[in-house]
Amino acid sequence: MIACLPPPPPSAYRLVEELRDPAAIAGVHRVAMDELESEQALLTKLGARGWGRIHHFRNHYHQPWGERNAAPLSPRALEGLTRFVVAAAFAPGKLPSVFLTDSGGLELCWEDERGGARQVEFKSDGIDYYIADCEEEGSVRLDNVGELVRKFAA
């Protein structure tokens, strides 16, 4: 008698391979003509994985996505995140994680030197932030990235 075990149940969530492995986007990427500075900052400060995720989001999420028809990536949110990353400093060894939200925004999560959580969501119409250390949350306008950077540096 040959007994076959039932196949394992599918995971509730599946990590898309292109997001797991930077090698999935391996190859020579020619940087868009005006984006060298920002690409360098994204790569240096978010690491290969963070840079790869943004690369994936900006190239493959222009249409509604997922089972709930989540909104496509907001160009304003992407520009806001890019400006923030260019200007911000992150604690050594604390690479931020990047997520695409259902509303088409981008969320950046990381820890400060003491391990306190920090979170910023870039949306098409503004930026929301949260600093766990001082239990502070608030919003700033997209053109006020400088103020946000100063707040996180304080």
Partner 1 sequence: MQLGPRVVSLSTKSRTYPGWPAIRNEPSWLLERVRAAGFVRETERIGVRYIDFFSGDVFPNLKIGVHIEGAPLKDGQIDVTTVLRFGKITTRLQVTNGAIVVTAAGPEVGSVLDIDGWVGPNDSDLFGHGLERFTELHDMVKRLFYSLLKPDYLAQLNPVYP
Summarize as ranges the residues that interact with partner 1 (CB under 8 A). 33-34, 62, 71, 74-76, 78-80, 124, 142-143
CB of 134 to partner 1, least distance (A): 28
Give residue 154's identity as a one-letter amino acid code: A
Q: How far apart are CA 100 and CA 109, in angstroms?
A: 12
49 vs 76 by CB, closer to partner 1: 76
38 vs 46 by CB, closer to partner 1: 38
Question: In the numeric block, which tokens belong to residue 18?
Answer: 């292109």
CB of 142 to partner 1, least distance (A): 5
42 vs 131 by CB, closer to partner 1: 42
Give residue 126's identity as a one-letter amino acid code: G
CB of 128 to partner 1, least distance (A): 16
Q: How far apart are CA 122 and CA 101, in angstroms?
A: 9
Q: How far apart are CA 75 and CA 99, in angstroms?
A: 15
